[in-house]
């Protein structure tokens, strides 16, 4: 799992060759901290078919505004430059993997 910014979001997410799970996060967000180890684990296990990145909404407000992100954590899957799936809030790993199966 790596961090992206407003400056490299297009290159790292929108132009990616495979689906990308983006976590819109903030340093003050408790549920985001809970979700972090789940996302790191998914990033490792699913690295062949899915990239996982995080973007801090406070440091990168343009991207958050562009996609209408109002609550953290917001998770979005992007395919071919378009958001195809979105959920708000932390969730257990098993549930997240089940939900991602539909999107990826």
- Delineate the domains of the chain, giving CATH numbers in brackets: 2-103 (3.40.30.10)
CA distance 80 to 32: 26
* Predicted local confidence at residue 94, as pLDDT: 95
Compute the mean pLDDT over every residue in the chain, rounded to the nearest whole number: 96
Reported as a single tens digit per residue, the pLDDT across 52-87 is: 999 999 999 999 999 999 999 999 999 999 999 999
Which among 13, 20, 21, 32 is annotated as catalytic?
Answer: 32
Active site residue 32: yes
* Predicted local confidence at residue 62, as pLDDT: 98
Which among 13, 20, 29, 38 is annotated as catalytic?
Answer: 29
Task: Give me the mean pLDDT over the 19-48 stretch.
Answer: 96
Does the predicted TM-score (pTM) go above 0.75?
yes
């Amino acid at each position: 799992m790596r961090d992206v910014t407003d400056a490299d979001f297009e290159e790292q997410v929108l132009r990616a060759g495979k689906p990308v799970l983006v976590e819109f996060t903030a340093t003050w967000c408790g549920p985001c901290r809970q979700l972090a180890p789940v996302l790191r684990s998914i990033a490792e296990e699913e690295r062949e078919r899915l990239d996982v990145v995080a973007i801090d909404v406070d440091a990168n407000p343009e991207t958050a505004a562009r996609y209408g992100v109002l609550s953290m954590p917001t998770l979005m899957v992007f395919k071919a430059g378009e958001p195809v799936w979105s959920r708000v809030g932390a969730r257990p790993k098993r549930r997240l993997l089940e939900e991602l199966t539909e999107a990826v």
